[in-house]
Amino acid sequence: MLFGRIFLAINGLIGLALGTFVAVSSSLASVGIDVQGYGLIEVRAAVGGAWICLGLFWLINAFGRRLRSSTATLGVFYAVTAAVRFLAMQDGGATNQTLMFLAFELVIALISLILFVWALAPERRRIFG
């Protein structure tokens, strides 16, 4: 259970860092996104805000009582993100950076699934019978 809390907390910090980076960056060219003007404001608000919200959610729940359901949301989020990334790669333009992000998302989703199914299962935490 301690590993689950640490795993969720680390992913919460990653979410906060990524969201803060996107929200305060004046240019996202360093990550390969070339958006200017109104589009940049929308990307910063939507993507940065979503990552900050998810990061806070995972970080807070790493120390709360809803560890199993929070781990499930982490796994589903990364699995859906990996699926959408994979579908987007079908149009071409898959770079090494894109493949690394896909691999990272799949690994996090897999670890979350393992934690959800085995390590944090309710029957493993029962004291009696």
In tens, the pLDDT along 76-99 reads: 999 999 999 999 999 877 888 889
Q: Distance between CA atoms of 102 and 98, rounded to whole angstroms?
A: 6
Residue 24 within a domain: yes
Residue 18 within a domain: yes
Residue 129 within a domain: no
| Residue 63 belongs to domain spanning | 2-122
Q: Distance between CA atoms of 117 and 46, rounded to whole angstroms?
A: 32
- Indicate the number of domains in the chain: 1
Return the minimum-mean-pLDDT range out of 29-33, 68-72, 75-79: 29-33
Chain-centroid distance of CA 3 in Å reads 17
* pTM: predicted TM-score of the whole model, two decimal places: 0.82
Chain-centroid distance of CA 69 in Å reads 14
Residue 96 within a domain: yes
| pLDDT reported for residue 129 | 46
